[in-house]
C-alpha cells in the first residue's frame, strides 16, 4: 500500500461515524445513544451520535452530508420516522442507510415502503441495535460515498 493510501485509511479509521438519531422523544434518543455506545464494532471507527428531535433538523443534518447511518423513530410525532425515511430516500442524493424503529415486529413491512434498509421493533435490544447499525455502516461503505448529500 502506498503512503497516500495508508494515510487515507488511518484518517478514515480516526474519523468517527456520524449516526443521526431522530425522535421527538428524548428518552428514545437516549436509549439508542446508550445502546450504540462509543463503538458499534471492533472493525469500525468510534461512533458520534447526532440527536435530532424535529423533521426540519433531520433534513438539515442529512442535507449537510457526512452521515454514516440514520436511526429514525417510527413513532415520532408529528412527523414519523417511516414517512421521514421515505422522504429522505426520495429527496437526498446518496442518502445513507436508514434504520426505522417500529412499534411491533409486524410493522417491519413498513420499512419496505419507506425504502429504509432495516427495521427493528421496540423494545430496543441493546445487543441487536449496534449489530444492525454496524451492518448498515458496512453496506453503506461498499456503495457510493455519501460526502455530498443534497435534496432535490
Angle at 139 between CA 48 and CA 104, to 5 degrees: 75
The residue-averaged pLDDT of 13-19 equals 85
pLDDT over 60 at 9, yes or no:
no
pTM, two decimal places: 0.84
**pLDDT higher than threshold 90 for residue 119:** yes
pLDDT digits (tens, 9 = 90+) for 32-78: 999 999 999 999 999 999 999 999 999 999 999 999 999 999 999 99
* Domains of the chain and CATH, by start: 9-124 (3.40.50.2300)
Residue 149 has φ and ψ, to the nearest 5°, of -110, 135
**Which comes out higher in pLDDT, residue 144 or 18?**
18
Higher pLDDT, 121 or 140: 121
pLDDT at 142: 58
Separation between Cα atoms, residue 78 and residue 25, nearest integer Å:
11
User: Which residue carries 447499525 as its cell?
Assistant: 133
- How far is residue 103's CA from residue 117's CA, in Å, rounded to a whole number? 17
Amino acid at each position: 500500500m502506498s503512503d497516500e493510501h495508508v494515510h487515507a485509511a488511518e484518517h478514515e479509521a480516526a474519523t468517527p461515524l456520524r449516526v443521526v438519531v431522530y425522535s421527538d422523544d428524548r428518552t428514545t434518543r437516549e436509549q439508542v445513544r446508550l445502546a450504540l455506545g462509543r463503538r458499534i464494532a471492533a472493525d469500525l471507527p468510534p461512533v458520534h451520535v447526532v440527536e435530532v428531535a424535529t423533521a426540519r433538523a433531520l433534513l438539515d443534518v442529512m442535507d449537510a452530508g457526512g452521515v454514516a447511518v440514520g436511526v429514525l423513530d417510527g413513532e415520532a410525532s408529528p412527523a414519523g420516522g417511516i414517512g421521514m425515511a421515505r422522504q429522505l430516500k426520495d429527496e437526498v442524493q446518496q442518502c445513507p442507510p436508514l434504520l426505522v424503529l417500529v412499534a411491533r415486529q409486524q410493522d417491519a413491512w413498513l420499512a419496505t415502503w419507506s425504502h429504509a434498509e432495516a427495521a427493528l421493533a421496540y423494545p430496543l435490544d441493546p445487543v441487536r441495535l449496534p449489530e444492525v447499525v454496524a451492518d448498515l455502516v458496512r453496506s453503506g461503505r461498499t456503495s457510493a460515498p455519501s460526502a455530498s448529500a443534497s435534496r432535490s
